[in-house]
Structure formats: C-alpha cells, structure tokens
Amino acid sequence: MAEFALPRRKIYRSLFVSDLHLGAWGSRAARFREFLRDTEAETIYLVGDIFDVWHNGRLHWSAVHDEIVEDLLARARSGVRVVYLPGNHDNAVRAIDSPQFSAFELCETAVHTAADGTTYLVLHGDQCDARILRWHVMTRIGSRGNAILRAADQWLKQRLHRTSERGLFELAILGVNALMLVGNRFEERLAALARAGGHDGVICGHYHKAALHLRDGIVYANCGDWVDNQTAIVERSDGTLQVLEWSGETRSAEVWSPERRFSS
C-alpha cells in the first residue's frame, strides 16, 4: 500500500490575525480554519474582533467555529503563546471569567519585539477611530446594516445560482467601508501612538484592509480581515513582516524586510 506524507504546515515566528467576526453572517470561518491548519507560529496575536458577540442579536455559529476555538486553545495549552487583544465587536471577552480563556494572554495593547529587534505596538485599532465612529450606537447601526446587506446578498446569489463572484450588496458594503475611511486619519493617529511609545511600527486590524507600508516614518501593518479579504500578517524567522492572502493556499503580498525595503 502506498504511503502518503501529510503536507507540512508553514512555520512562522509570529502570526497576526484580526477581524474573523466569528458569529457574524459574513464571517469566512471555513476559510480561516483551512488557513490555520496550514500554519504554525511560536506566537499568535488575535488582534481583535475575533468574535462578533457585542450585541444581543442572533449568532451564526457552527461546528467550524468550535473547531477554530478548540484549535487555538489546544495550541495555547501546548506552549504556543496566544495573545488576545479584544476589539469593539468582542469587547465582552474582557469580562469572561472562564478557565478556557485563561490559556490566552488577554490585554488591551501589546508590544512585539521582532527577531531583528524592531518593536511594534499591537492593538485592534478602534482606539484611534474618529470620535464619532467610537460611539457604541455607530457600531450597532453599522453591524446591523452589514448583516442585513450580507443576508440580502446571499439570498440574491442563491436565486441567481452564483457562489464565487461578489454580489451587488457585497460591493455596496465595500464601497461604504471605503467612504468611512475617507478623512479618517486613523493611520496617522496609530503611527503617532507607536512613536510616542518609542516603537518602530504598529500592527493592527479593525479597518478590514490589509496594509504594510511606512506612515510618517513608522511601519504600519494591518492584518486585514476574514470577511471580505482573507489576509493575515506573519513574521518570518529573520524579522521580516509579510502580508499573506489565503485562497486555498497562501500567497504573498507586501513584504517588509529588516533592511526596511519593500519587495513583492
């Protein structure tokens, strides 16, 4: 009988993921489960909005979601450092008193020291939103509107027998998200926050748009999300940061090297 070797996981020094929104209608939980199965890291940062549990509405939960949580807990118990930085959609995690979550390091912000000595401030990012966007009612309106549009989009796709391409409602969501970022100087505020702490860069989530570039002399890295874009930030063994996109297999996007140079 022929023997087949199991595929080896890709190994990184650190993994940064955000905005899974587990429990929300649009969460691509199955995609993230595939990515997680393909990936190992010494340290995993859960950079906020991992769950979408801030409201009293219906949770869209399945066995896939349970598998993701169990996988992360198993890694934490086996010695992987898992740091959880709650965001605005999973703020309730801060109040959970559970032996399970005690396996994670729970904190508002963290400082990550890369292999090359570069230090990064790590936080979800909602702390640097424009003031009006930090209002709880704005989060509630946005979340409910998002859920309604995604449900309508799914219904329309089923009626038209389309599964892969973006629908009209999904494109509308992306357009609204882009408009909300216009004039919102969040990158500048995050860079200033990192600089004030004496750090070389900042790693965040929240804005659902993966990025890796300089902002006012500070490295700005955004993990992206697992709703509209399946992306994460990883640190390689030499301290290089990289944006990864998942589409059944990892694909490299921007790269930030210890020499402060970009490549593709």
DSSP helix/strand/coil, 180:
helix
Domains of the chain, residue spans: 11-263
State phi, psi for 194 to the nearest 5 degrees: -65, -45
Residue 146's pLDDT is 53
- How many helices (H) and strands (E) the chain has is answered by 5, 13
The span from the CA of 81 to the CA of 41, in Å, is 9
Q: Is 250 exposed, middle or buried (0-12, 13-18, 19+ CB in 10 A)?
A: middle
pLDDT in tens, the chain (264 residues): 444 444 578 999 999 999 999 988 888 999 999 999 999 999 999 999 999 876 566 778 999 999 999 999 999 999 999 999 999 888 878 777 666 678 899 999 999 999 999 999 999 998 887 544 444 444 554 555 555 455 555 555 555 555 555 555 455 445 545 544 544 588 999 999 999 999 999 999 998 889 999 999 999 999 999 998 899 999 999 999 999 999 877 777 678 765 554 443
Provide the phi-psi class of 108: left if phi over 0, else alpha when psi is between -120 and 50, else beta: alpha
Q: Which residue type sits at 249?
A: E
Provide the phi-psi class of 248: left if phi over 0, else alpha when psi is between -120 and 50, else beta: left
Residue 69's pLDDT is 95
Q: Which of the listed CATH numbers 3.60.15.10, 3.40.50.300, 3.40.50.150, 3.60.21.10 matches domain 11-263?
A: 3.60.21.10
Residue 101's pLDDT is 72
State phi, psi for 235 to the nearest 5 degrees: -110, 125
Residue 169's pLDDT is 47
Q: Which residue has the tokens 């329309």?
A: 156
Q: Three-class SS string for 187-248?
A: HHHHHHHHHHCCCCEEEECCCCCCEEEEECCEEEEECCECCCCEEEEEECCCCCEEEEEECC
DSSP helix/strand/coil, 169:
helix
The CA-based angle 143-146-151, given to 5 degrees, is 125
Q: In the 8-state DSSP scheme, what is residue 116?
A: T
Overall pTM > 0.85: no
Alpha helices in 42-135 (DSSP H): 63-77
